[in-house]
Chain A
């Protein structure tokens, strides 16, 4: 099952610009995470935000969480060509804290 939607589905920007991706989910969560996937590869964890947190930063990444709207956003500042990848949000819930992934945003950063 998928948790929700991400938008945009695809995003194309120039190097140096900021990239914003949004994620919505349906059920109550313990935490929300963002992962990155290069084409045909596994996923790399980027950042985790707990349900009682509203904003978190890690390097060029900024994540917000609005539990009342069941939504989150990921901002990548000063993007680089190497940021080109698919980005997925994932929500953790239940006893096993299993991760359910959103649809993903394919980001292309052009030099």
Chain B
């Protein structure tokens, strides 16, 4: 089945540093990937839609200069949290839509296991 690898699974950094999170589709190509943010015991908030070869589309209220997204290839999207602050601490989850969906259908996303960011 479709697998999405997200790395790192957890990271602790100092305030002011930048952190990069990778989202990689292991056995399929994905032109479109999505980045979500989740606070404890809350739902997933869509941050942006990442498209290979073009600029990401950010949701309202999400700072594009703060959360840099690069979709460098059909199997890799990265989220960089720049100049991180404690309020950026959260659980970040990526998902990918297979370009060739097969039996599951084009609307079903495969999610990574998430990355927990703690900013001190």
* Contact across chains for A42 and B107 when beta carbons are under 8 A apart: no
* Contact across chains for A1 and B46 when beta carbons are under 8 A apart: yes
* Cβ-defined partner of B114 (8 Å) among A2, A42, A48, A103: A42
Complex A-B: 16 CB contacts under 8 Å = A2-B43, A33-B108, A40-B114, A41-B113, A41-B114, A42-B113, A44-B111, A88-B43, A96-B49, A97-B97, A98-B46, A99-B95, A99-B109, A100-B46, A101-B43, A103-B42
8 Å CB interface, B25-41 against A = 32, 34, 36, 41
* Contact across chains for B6 and A42 when beta carbons are under 8 A apart: yes
* Contact across chains for B111 and A88 when beta carbons are under 8 A apart: no
Q: How far is the CA of A88 from the CA of B42 in the complex (A)?
A: 10
The total number of A-B Cβ pairs within 8 Å is 63
Closest Cβ neighbor of A41 among chain B residues: B113
* Contact across chains for B44 and A101 when beta carbons are under 8 A apart: yes
B24 at interface by CB-CB < 8 Å: no
Closest Cβ neighbor of B104 among chain A residues: A45
User: Using Cβ atoms and an 8 Å threshold, which residues of chain B touch A106?
Assistant: 41
Q: How far is the CA of A45 from the CA of B110 in the complex (A)?
A: 8
| Interface size counted on chain B using CB atoms at 8 A | 31
Closest Cβ neighbor of B4 among chain A residues: A42
* Binary per-residue interface labels of chain B (64-104) against chain A in the complex, 1 for a CB within 8 Å, 0 otherwise: 00000000000000000000000000010101010000001
Q: How far is the CA of A1 from the CA of B59 in the complex (A)?
A: 8
User: Using Cβ atoms and an 8 Å threshold, which residues of chain B touch A96?
Assistant: 32, 49, 57
User: Using Cβ atoms and an 8 Å threshold, which residues of chain B touch A31?
Assistant: 107
User: Using Cβ atoms and an 8 Å threshold, which residues of chain B touch A104?
Assistant: 42-43
* Cβ-defined partner of A45 (8 Å) among B6, B44, B108, B112: B108
| Given contacts A40-B114, A41-B114, A96-B32, A30 and B107 within 8 Å (CB-CB) | yes
User: Using Cβ atoms and an 8 Å threshold, which residues of chain A touch B109?
Assistant: 45, 99
* Contact across chains for B60 and A1 when beta carbons are under 8 A apart: yes
* Contact across chains for B49 and A98 when beta carbons are under 8 A apart: yes
